[in-house]
């Protein structure tokens, strides 16, 4: 019942003093901009076979986020696809942050592509919110122009002509400001900043879809709201707060406060005691981010451990770094959702990587400090953190960190589904630190056209083994242009092994891939064979008249 008392208390005070005004910057399709490719090329970034970001030229061809690789390539055959890499995104975003920093200090970053800054001081300096927003918009656009590589003619590419590069919004509270920045892109293609007057947040939000309230688009809470018929933020805001708390708990109430324009930003402890911050002093000084992997992980665990021991959580983490020449750099990261050690460690790594890559720490890093900001009591959040599974997970993650210290951070990998036709394409191994444990791409149950039917092989040869497949007369087995096999396979020999009699076989399945691309065009035919004497089954592949063993069903 303390929960009730505390939240009602928070609500009454919130009505009195408005939340902090913030300026939010939103760069749509940041993963594409971070590639630093010429703007006129159609470029898109792919994760788990889905487009997550598409550049302007690609969008003009109809390539939109959420499309599958195949659909996107069908719409735009010359599409340039890149793999999703959050490290690269963060490293390049640092250049935008440096530009912003000259206008307004106290930057806070949410994810690469999104940041915010309190307007109270800078606004006064530049003569009002609107003037500040214009200055920031101009400065960020210049920074983005510098990112785009010049085209072959040596002339500066025309990114300025590509609209919708950056949105700037000013509003009360972080979530509302972020939505204002997104709206500025949607309404004016980023040409004009959107400034919501103080106290008018609820009015601005009222007509927006309720799903935008939560930064996580797959949030079950907003999905429930939609099912209940509350499709706009305004309809949700009209509910009495006590009913919202009753039905949706503290997290629902937090969203309701955003919806009503009373976004809670007041920390329970105005200044967290200093002993909640943690520091590490690497010796010798760090000069590459991979040297810091283990250190950062330990630091992040210590940091969250101290907060958890006091039943506190922090909405922001201030990363402070001292360089060998005595300079101190700091930057604040806002985290939406549950703060896990891997999330903190990932942000610290991004930040170190950004600073090291932009040459701002010439002598190396001699001290790293993490300070919690906006500390509040852990209401309704800590339940997910303390389960039996969490204990097992912690133990495993600590073990992985020890292994990483031995073999390097990138040598410990996890399988991630990316989809594909052959067993070798369906999964790729990504470094443990890059995989997001909470949002792993999931193989969908929907069929994948052209895939070899399950069961899947337990061994996938990489590289494939060569094989020789002969018919009953000793001739090489081939597959004709119409997908017919020349003769049934009678014997098969794998690498330098013995000649085995084919007991049974199935296929051929033909795949004519990327026929529109002269370089990467591949025509292949596949066959399943079961061999004597022990009944071992293999997946054979024929390409350019040569047979290979791609995988085995052992």
Partner 1 sequence: MHESAARILPVEPVEPFAPVTPDRPASDRAATVLQLRRAVAQAGVESSPHVGAPLPVAPGLEQLLPDGALRRGTVVEVAGSPALAIALAAASIQAGAWAACVGLPTLGWSAASVAGWNLSRVVAVTPSVRRWSGVMAALVDAMDLLLIGPDPAPSAAEARRLHARARERGAVLLLVGGARSGWEDRADVRLRAVTNAWSGVGQGWGHLESVRMVVECSGRRAASRSRRIEVDLP
227 scored as a contact of partner 1 (CB under 8 A)? no
- Give the range of 43-51, 80-88, 311-319, 385-393 binding partner 1 by CB under 8 A: 385-393
Is 188 a binding residue for partner 1 by CB under 8 A? The answer is no
Q: Which of 200, 381, 456, 468 binds partner 1 (CB under 8 A)?
A: 456
Q: What part of residues 64-93 is at the interface with partner 1 (CB under 8 A)?
A: none
Stretch of residues binding partner 1 (CB under 8 A), selected from 234-242, 266-274, 306-314, 456-464: 456-464
Query: 245 or 412, CB closer to partner 1?
Result: 412
Q: Which of 462, 481, 519, 545 binds partner 1 (CB under 8 A)?
A: 462
CB atoms inside a 10 Å sphere around CB 523:
15
Q: Which of 6, 64, 98, 460 binds partner 1 (CB under 8 A)?
A: 460
Q: Considering only the stretches 81-89, 270-278, 315-323, 398-406, report the one whose residues sit in contact with partner 1 under the rule CB under 8 A.
A: 398-406
Min CB(482)–partner 1 separation in Å: 15
464 binds partner 1 (CB under 8 A): no
Least separation, in Å, of the C-beta of 287 and partner 1? Answer: 23
Query: Which C-beta is closer to partner 1: that of 169 or that of 457?
Result: 457
Q: Which residues pair with 321 in a beta bridge?
A: 329, 368
The string of DSSP letters for 374-409 reads: EEEE-TTTHHHHSSHHHHHHHHHHHHHHHHHHHH-G
- Single residue of 276, 537, 540, 549 touching partner 1 by CB under 8 A: 537
Interface map 466-505 toward partner 1 (x if CB under 8 A): -------------------x--x---------------xx
d(CA 28, CA 185): 8
Among 142, 311, 383, 392, binds partner 1 (CB under 8 A): 392
Please state, in angstroms and as integers, the Cα–Cα distance from residue 403 to each residue in 56, 155, 294, 393, 435, following that order.
Answer: 42, 48, 9, 15, 16
Binding to partner 1 by residue 452, rule CB under 8 A? yes
DSSP 457-484: PSEEEEEEEEEEEEETTSPBP-B-TTS-
**Can you tell me the distance from the alpha carbon of 113 to that of 25, in angstroms, rounded to the nearest whole number?**
8
**Site membership for partner 1, residue 163 (CB under 8 A):** no
**Alpha-helical segments (H) within 36-194:** 56-60, 69-75, 86-101, 120-126, 129-147, 174-188
The β-bridge relationship of strands 328-334 and 108-111 is parallel
Cβ(132)–Cβ(119) below 8 Å = yes
Query: H or E element: which one contains 330?
Result: strand 328-334
Residues 56 and 164 sit within 8 Å (Cβ to Cβ): yes
341 binds partner 1 (CB under 8 A): no
Burial of 221 (0-12, 13-18, 19+ CB in 10 A): middle
- Residue 428 near residue 46, CB atoms below 8 Å: no
Residues forming the site for partner 1 (CB under 8 A): 388-389, 392-393, 395-400, 402-403, 406-407, 411-417, 423, 426-427, 429, 432, 435, 437, 440, 443, 452-462, 485, 488, 504-507, 528, 530, 534-537, 551, 553-554
């Amino acid at each position: 019942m303390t929960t009730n008392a505390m939240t009602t208390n928070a609500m009454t005070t919130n009505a009195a003093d408005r939340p902090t005004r913030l300026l939010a910057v939103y760069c749509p399709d940041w993963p594409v901009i971070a590639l630093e490719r010429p703007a006129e090329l159609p470029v898109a970034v792919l994760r788990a076979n889905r487009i997550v970001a598409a550049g302007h030229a690609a969008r003009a061809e109809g390539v939109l986020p959420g499309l599958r690789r195949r659909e996107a390539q069908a719409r735009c055959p010359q599409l340039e696809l890149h793999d999703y890499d959050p490290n690269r995104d963060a490293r390049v975003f640092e250049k935008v942050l440096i530009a912003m920093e000259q206008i307004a200090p106290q930057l806070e970053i949410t994810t690469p592509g999104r940041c915010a800054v309190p307007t109270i001081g800078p606004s006064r300096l530049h003569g009002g919110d609107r003037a500040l927003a214009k200055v920031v918009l101009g400065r960020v656009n210049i920074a983005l122009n510098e990112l785009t590589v010049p085209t072959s003619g040596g002339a500066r590419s025309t990114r300025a002509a590509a609209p919708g590069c950056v949105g700037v919004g000013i509003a009360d509270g972080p979530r509302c400001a972020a939505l204002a920045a997104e709206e500025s892109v949607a309404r004016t293609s980023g040409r004009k900043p959107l400034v919501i007057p103080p106290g008018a947040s609820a009015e601005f939000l009222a007509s927006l879809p309720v799903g935008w309230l939560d930064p996580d688009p797959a949030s079950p809470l907003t999905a429930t709201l939609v099912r209940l018929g509350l499709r706009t933020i305004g309809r949700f805001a009209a509910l009495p707060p006590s009913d919202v708390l009753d039905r949706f708990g503290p997290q629902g109430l937090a969203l309701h406060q955003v919806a009503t324009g009373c976004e809670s930003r007041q920390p329970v402890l105005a200044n967290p005691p200093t002993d909640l911050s943690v520091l590490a002093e690497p010796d010798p000084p760090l000069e590459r981010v991979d040297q810091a992997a283990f250190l950062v992980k330990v630091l992040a665990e210590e940091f969250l451990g101290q907060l958890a021991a006091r039943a506190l959580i922090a909405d922001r983490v201030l990363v402070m770094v001292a360089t060998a020449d005595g300079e101190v750099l700091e930057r604040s990261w806002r985290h939406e959702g549950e703060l896990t050690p891997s999330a903190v460690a990932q942000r610290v790594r991004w930040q170190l990587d950004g600073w090291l890559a932009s040459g701002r720490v010439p002598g190396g890093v001699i001290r790293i400090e993490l300070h919690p900001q906006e500390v509040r009591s852990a209401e309704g959040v800590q339940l997910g953190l303390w389960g039996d599974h969490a204990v097992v997970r912690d133990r495993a993650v600590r073990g992985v960190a020890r292994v990483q210290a031995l073999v390097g951070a990138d040598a410990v990998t996890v399988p991630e589904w990316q989809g594909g036709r052959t067993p070798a394409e369906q999964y790729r191994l990504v470094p443990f630190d890059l995989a997001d444990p909470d949002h792993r791409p999931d193989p969908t149950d929907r069929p994948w056209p052209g895939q070899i039917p399950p069961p899947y092989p337990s061994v996938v040869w990489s590289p494939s083994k060569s094989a020789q497949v002969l018919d009953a007369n000793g001739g090489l087995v081939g597959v004709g242009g119409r997908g017919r096999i020349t003769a049934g396979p009678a014997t098969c020999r794998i690498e330098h092994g013995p000649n085995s009699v084919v007991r049974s076989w199935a296929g051929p399945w033909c795949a004519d891939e990327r026929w529109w691309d002269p370089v990467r065009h591949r025509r292949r035919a596949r066959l399943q064979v079961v061999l004597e004497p022990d009944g071992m089954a293999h997946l054979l592949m024929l390409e350019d008249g040569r047979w290979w063993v791609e995988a085995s069903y052992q």
